[in-house]
Amino acid sequence: MFSLERWQEVFETISKNKLRTFLTGVSVASGIFILVILLGVSVGFQNGIESQFQNDAENIIEIYPGLTSIDYKGFNEGRRIQLKNDDYDLAKKGSETKIEFASPMYQIFAGLISYKNESGSYRVEGVQPDYQFLEKADIIEGRFLNTNDLENKEKYAVIGNRAKKDLFGSQSPIGKYIKISGLNFKVVGVFTDPGGDREETRVYVPISTAQIVFGAGTDIRSMGFTLPKESDYDQALKQSSAFAARIENLLKTKLIIDPRDESALRINNNIENTKEIYLLISAMRLFFWAVGIATLLAGIIGVSNIMLIIVKERTKEIGIRKALGAEPLSIVGMILHESIFVTTVSGLFGLIFGLVLLEVVGPFIELDFIKNPSVNFSIAVSTLILLIAAGAIAGFFPAWRGARIKPIDALRDE
Amino acid sequence: MIEIKDLHKSYKMGKNSLHVLKGINFSVQEGELVSIMGSSGSGKSTLLNILGMLDEADEGSYTLDGVPIKNLNEKLAAQYRNKFLGFIFQSFNLINYKSALDNVALPLYYQGVKRSERMERSMAYLEKVGLADWATHKPNELSGGQKQRVAIARALASDPKVLLADELTGALDSKTSYEIMDLIQQINDEGRTILVVTHEEDIAHMTKRIVNLKDGVIIDDKKVTQVRAIQNV
């Protein structure tokens, strides 16, 4: 297989049968190219759908307090429940390993914020660093709040992209000071949020700072948690519900709320709303797998067909070679060597062309349902290897049959 | 050189069996130039194919240069063909996409001769058949006579014990045929054993011995006075 003489013979055959080589190459290259593009688009679709439907983490569990609706242990109905820092700690306690992200939140809805002559009313939220992931906020400049800011009660703010545009126009706000309720806060970051303008008018500050600045003591308005993602919806729902029920139970006991009271503590388990998305994404994944496999199959059949035709076309040549002393194995080796060489080279071409196209054009595609199409390189390479192997196996049988033809019959072939 | 005893061959044609060779006894000494004659269907091509190990006999023995040829597997047959035999066909059977030189070099490739030596030896044979200037030309750029010369050079390239020629002038005009036969006679003069299958009387008389085949048996086997082809050119 690796003898220099064989390579010379193969190169000679290839260079003197340019059209045949070209046609084989084009069909293999285009097969791989289409597959790569298809895989890329499927990833793009998935990204697009996920970002369309999910402003916040899709598995977030949020807990808001409300008014009690049932008399309980001497307390009248209609009592307003107030959550505090230690309620958050209690909810978290014992589940630290199960939780992915967690944050309490204290907000004021209309905070007056100004920078130089520009001012506006924005929602100011005091949060912990994890909140970035609960909200799916993406930092585009600077950084998000960190644990240090929280512990030192820094007067730092991370502002939404909309707020940044309103207050700063096109200049960078990082390091500048904005006034929130008359106090100076240093801007450390700017974020975007898939929720769009509505969520990008928010301003995040450390919750420890917010509680002091807004005179809230240890009050919090709500708390949010996520659990690590599960690929199976039912599994995710089961774990999430168990987790939510446990917190509800703990808090209701501590805050002396009737277990049957549904309005005193509202638990919003987002995962219950995302069943459709889970289903849609898994259905789409299935669809693209099916299309991908079908494409691959078509590619394999195409390669096998070409191999069959090549062997058929070379029957007479095989006869001549055998009459001149070619052993059957050398015939099989010659045909396979040539075909594997051609499929590998042209397959690589198709692969690289497809990857480059996705890499160059991909980021510019901003349709509603397609976002950042890209393909996993190792998947693409293993597809190529599979195609080459399949081509070799598919080519082996015609080659073997060709080598078994009696030279006298092969020579008669016109 | 060649020793054949009681050779039988039949082909199955549906339910009927066609008995083509019915007991051929035949031997050829080294350096002979023999023609096998017969009308079509006499079995002469079948005999040549068996001699060339392109086909197998049903019965009988065949010895080539002291080696019994029987129960060959494909691999061994290929090695024997390469070592013992050179083929010349009516339709030349050159590989279209290869140059004259590369066609001649092919048997040497299968002998495992290195490329540079292969090319050198092939060139020498092309010179011998008078086509050195045409070495880089493809078969479709050559005339029929030239193609047959390339085929002869190729048959000689592996330095075989026996040349087997099947109607080698069948596709050529008379003048070219005689030129080719002149070449064959020259090669025979150098001591090479050659078997020619033909149905043309004049070609047969340019050999030294004529074997007549009819309905699968030899009806006549005689030495003749060789007519030199060069006189007819």
- Cβ-based contacts under 8 A for chains A and B: 69
Reading the block at residue B225, the tokens are: 């006075």
Q: What is the pLDDT of residue B29?
A: 92
Most A-contacting residue of B11, B45, B46, B74 (CB-CB within 10 A), to test interface:
B74
Q: Is A81 left (phi over 0), alpha (psi -120 to 50) or beta?
A: beta
pLDDT value of residue A414: 57
> Closest by alpha carbon to A102, among A311, A254, A243?
A243
Q: Is A195 exposed, middle or buried (0-12, 13-18, 19+ CB in 10 A)?
A: middle
- Kind of pairing, strands B33-37 and B209-214? parallel
Mutating which of A14, A324, A409 best tests the B interface, going by the most B Cβ atoms within 10 A?
A324
pLDDT at A395 over 80: no
Interface pTM, i.e. ipTM: 0.89
Contact B154 A324 (CB under 8 A): yes
Closest Cβ–Cβ partner in A5, A16, A326 for B78: A326
List, in order, residues 6 or more apart from B200 with CB less than 8 Å away: B169, B177
Q: What is the pLDDT of residue A275?
A: 77
Tokens of A335: 């045909």
Does A323 or A59 have the greater pLDDT score? A323
User: Which amino acid, one-letter code, is at A224?
Assistant: G
pLDDT of A75 over the 70 cut: yes
Which pLDDT value is given to residue A405?
A: 80
Nearest CA in chain A to B107: A324
- pLDDT bin (cut points 50, 70, 90) of residue A368 is low
Count the Cβ atoms, other than its own, within 10 Å of residue A217.
Answer: 11
* Edge-to-edge strand ranges of the sheet holding B16-28: B16-28, B2-13, B59-64, B67-68
**How does pLDDT run across A110-164, given as a tens digit for each residue?**
888 989 888 889 999 999 999 998 888 888 889 999 999 999 999 999 999 999 9
List, in sequence order, every residue forming a beta bridge with A190; answer none if it has no partner: A141, A159
Domains, chain B, ordered by start:
30-59+73-231 (3.40.50.300)
Chain A residue with Cα closest to B81? A325
Q: Which amino acid is at B124?
A: A
Please report which residue ranges of A221-327 form alpha helices under DSSP H: 233-254, 275-313, 315-323
What's chain B's length in residues?
233
Cα R_g (chain A), whole angstroms: 33
pLDDT digits (tens), chain B, 233 positions: 899 999 999 888 778 888 888 989 989 999 999 999 988 888 888 888 889 888 888 888 999 988 888 888 888 888 899 989 999 988 899 998 889 999 999 999 998 888 899 999 999 999 999 999 999 999 999 999 999 999 999 999 989 999 999 888 888 898 899 999 999 999 999 999 999 999 888 899 999 999 999 988 999 999 988 888 888 76
pLDDT above 90: residue A268: no
Q: What's the per-residue H, E or C state across A68-116?
A: CCCCECCECCCCECCEEHHHHHHHHCCCCCCCCEEEEEEEEEEEEEEEC
A19 touches chain B (CB under 8 A): no
